[in-house]
Structure 1
Amino acid sequence: MPYRPSSTFQRAAAVGVGLSLLAVPAPAAPVVSASDARAAAKRPTTGPILVGHRGAGGTAPENTVAAFLDGRASGADFIEIDVQLSADGVPFLFHDDTPARTTDVEDVFPGRASDPITSFTWAELQQLDAGSYFDRRFVGERIPHLDDAAAVAAGAAGVYIEIKSPWNSPGIEEVVASELRNDPAWRTLVEARRVQVIGFDEASNRRFAALAPDVLLQQLTWMIPGPEVLAEWAAFVDSVGAYYRGLAPQEVARVKDAGLMMSVYTVNSPEDVQAVVDLGVDAVTTDFPIQNGRHLRGLPAFPEATVEIGGAVNDPAGDDVAFGAGEYVTLRNVSGSAVDVSGYFLRDATNSILRVGEGYVLLPGAELRVHAGAGTDSPTDCFNGLASPVLADTGTSLGLWTPDLRLVDVFAN
């Protein structure tokens, strides 16, 4: 029986691009304004390729049709997805090895939250809600089929397909190669050079290269290896994708000297995007393609910004949630008027949340420290009273949201 797009995709297609209200500058506005759309159409071809990570995982639930639509609406060149195989061999889109973080698995299948996501059948996966963890507006988002991404991308964007944890999905290379070869939508994208398969596992990449030599292929890595390894990779891949932190100009040059394109992940703040662009990378993957796409087009990433994230202390001396001390994030009023930040919240890439309590009004130039742990609230300090830290000690990205779900800043440290 041929595959049919999921009900989630059919609902989204009925209302058009811009399903995610979280990504817009005002609650009732479209995701991308008409002026932004025109600017995207005029985007210089000499700029870096922009890739929406897991669709647009910073503004909609990752690896869902809603995130794909946000990624497409951003004007990104590609959306990135993660593919795995269900217990009955269906290619589905999901990042983690277990369903615990991004689904309601404990409600639907009690006791299976820590089971491998690949141990679920396709029918079981379709019973899970993959959107409500992000926000109530996404209740009912389902785990997509691989072909949902092609349906969303058609005519608007390309797709990076990451083969995720191939050791958990034996034979996945053959399944993906077959889909790209036999499905008309995927075949059209492949022929237009708008599909790139990516992965960390070198053996898996070699298997895929032998099966589909006409499909662009990228070797993912944490750090850039030496020229000997790059020369080996160049025999079967077209590009290298590396973690952006600590990337040096000579490493970018080394990749290009091997005849490969240089891609980086996952770069979320406009400042960091600009830094890697200045290094001369060819492609940038980001959770926030809408905002960083604006930046790359010379537009303000946050055109109506009044409050920004001024800094973060991720790994203080002593206990990260010590009373009155510990980790915190600083908010700063950068406008010329007082701003009530009551109900604002900070979200990181793993969906950890820090909230601002009621009654906090920042005067122009004033700052507020939002703490994870407990303490005594004051005009300059708000404590969440959490028993465990939420900020990664090595630093990560944070999005700042208003109570009416407008993203007003992204910060990476």
Structure 2
Amino acid sequence: MASRTLRTLTGMSVTTAVGLSLMAAPAAVAQPEARAQDSAPILIGHRGAAGTAPENTVAAFEDGRTSGADFFEIDVQLSADGVPFLFHDDTPARTTNVEEVFPERANNPITSFTWNELQQLDAGSYFDERYEGERIPHLDDAAKVATANTGVYIEIKSPVNSPGVEQLVADELRTNPKWQQLVAGHKLQVLGFDEASNRKFAQVAPEIELQQLSGVVPGPAVLESWTEFADSVGTNYRVLSAQNVADVKAAGLVLGVYTVNSPEAVQASLALGVDAITTDFPIQNARLLQGTPVFPGSGVEIADSVNNPAGDDVQPENGEYVLLRNTSNRSIDVSGYLVRDAANNVLIVGNGYVLAPGAELRVHTGPGTNTAGSYYNGLTASVLNNGGDAVALWAPQDKLQDVFAN
């Protein structure tokens, strides 16, 4: 891959084997006068826009495009009859109605279903009833949504379950005119966690920009070996250090982080010097980059999330909880508000809860006696991830109020 001298977010020149699209300013994320082109981070909508629409559906891709993000990310796998489809999990249970359609196969590999069987599943209702009827998309459906401004990150998901997926995706990108337009416009990138799969894809499609995903950033020697086939590195923002950033840049690779959902986490990641941000909430974080209100009209925020309390995570009158706070100067009825995590686990606020200005409410997962300051969902299993979580607060009528990450 030819080396190119580019400009980093700090404005310093670096030489890196990467296509120019990785460092291009988001065309619709911010107005030119708001941010200098050489300081603009790349914004990617995760699974389309998984925070505001059912992940890996056309509705989510459209939200990603609406945000003006540079790219939206998708996950590709192969059906039992060799059709490339877009789905994240290894099984269909979490995000489809498979238990109704194929009750004996809910925990079967998603790749064991034929394309015709996949099309019988509803992939939207799990998120919200207004998305009833959303289907599992074909790979080419993402190309139909993409534009010259908003391209596509294609993650090859669990390649061991989809033998031959690298060649099939490469062939699709070469034969479909819409994909070819995106390639020519530097609005396409392929990525994955499986290094062997990435190396295979680089061999069959060396013209496509490629990203190596990794839960943590490895040492300089491994990073150097990745430059043989990859243009960039994508990693978990929660474990990223300044030394990691320096190591990636020293190797001549572009650095992206996932899945960065709260505005505060986005700001912290950019302060470390990352080049690209992948988020479930591209619409809201595009506003952040524009310098406009992220949650206009919201008066209630998630002030804290206590994921790992002393003792059991779920216990009577105690245990894990999310803390809501009224930051406005008016009383707000939070009855029916929802707290939703990335896996679509939901906590609710019951009826009759009106928060005065400055008042707080603990929304507990487990059982307990409801009081003015605490509401208990009565669940028997924990919802919040002890290793850190991102949760969103929704008012009735699907109005997003806040996103919090810890």
Gaps of 5+ in 1: 1-36
Out of 106, 110, 118, the position equivalent to 1:113 is: 106
Return the offset for 1:39: 6.6
Gaps of 5+ in 2: 1-26
SS at match of 2:50: coil
Matched, 1:200 2:193: yes
SS at match of 2:61: helix
* Stretch deviating more after TM superposition (268-277 or 300-309): 300-309
Superposition pairs for residues 216-231 of structure 1, below 5 Å?
Answer: 216-231=209-224
Amino acid at match of 2:312: D
Amino acid at match of 2:51: G
For residues 29 and 268 of structure 2, the distance between their equivalents in structure 1, rounded to whole angstroms, comes to 22
Q: Which residue pairs with 1:353 in the alignment?
A: 346
Matched, 1:333 2:323: no
Q: Which residue pairs with 1:280 in the alignment?
A: 273
Return the offset for 1:389: 1.1
For residues 198 and 395 of structure 1, the distance between their equivalents in structure 2, rounded to whole angstroms, comes to 24
Return the offset for 1:409: 0.1
Out of 295, 301, 312, the position equivalent to 2:305 is: 312
Q: Which residue pairs with 2:141 in the alignment?
A: 148
Superposition pairs for residues 249-328 of structure 1, below 5 Å?
Answer: 249-328=242-321
Return the offset for 1:53: 0.1
For residues 282 and 156 of structure 1, the distance between their equivalents in structure 2, rounded to whole angstroms, comes to 18
Return the offset for 1:47: 1.0
For residues 245 and 188 of structure 2, the distance between their equivalents in structure 1, rounded to whole angstroms, comes to 23
Would the aligned equivalents of 1:154 and 1:185 in 2 still touch at CA under 8 Å? Answer: no
For residues 313 and 271 of structure 2, the distance between their equivalents in structure 1, rounded to whole angstroms, comes to 35
Any idea what the Cα deviations from partners look like across 1:62-88, whole Å, max 9, x if unmatched? Answer: 000000000000010000000000000
Superposition pairs for residues 5-154 of structure 1, below 5 Å?
Answer: 40-42=30-32, 44=35, 45=37, 46-154=39-147
Q: How many residues align?
A: 377
Return the offset for 1:163: 0.1
Matched, 1:215 2:208: yes
Q: Which residue pairs with 1:19 in the alignment?
A: none
SS at match of 1:245: helix
Return the offset for 1:41: 4.5
Return the offset for 1:249: 1.2
For residues 175 and 147 of structure 2, the distance between their equivalents in structure 1, rounded to whole angstroms, comes to 16
Any idea what the Cα deviations from partners look like across 1:199-228, whole Å, max 9, x if unmatched? Answer: 000000000000000100000001111111
Amino acid at match of 1:85: L
Amino acid at match of 1:375: G
Report sequence identity in percent: 66
Return the offset for 1:154: 2.7
For residues 28 and 70 of structure 2, the distance between their equivalents in structure 1, rounded to whole angstroms, comes to 15
Matched, 1:380 2:373: yes
For residues 240 and 40 of structure 2, the distance between their equivalents in structure 1, rounded to whole angstroms, comes to 19
Give the direction of change, closer, same or farther, for the CA distance of 1:344–1:219 in structure 2 (3 Å limit). Answer: same
For residues 80 and 232 of structure 1, the distance between their equivalents in structure 2, rounded to whole angstroms, comes to 25
Superposition pairs for residues 142-181 of structure 1, below 5 Å?
Answer: 142-181=135-174
TM-score (norm 1): 0.90
Return the offset for 1:401: 0.2
For residues 95 and 184 of structure 2, the distance between their equivalents in structure 1, rounded to whole angstroms, comes to 34
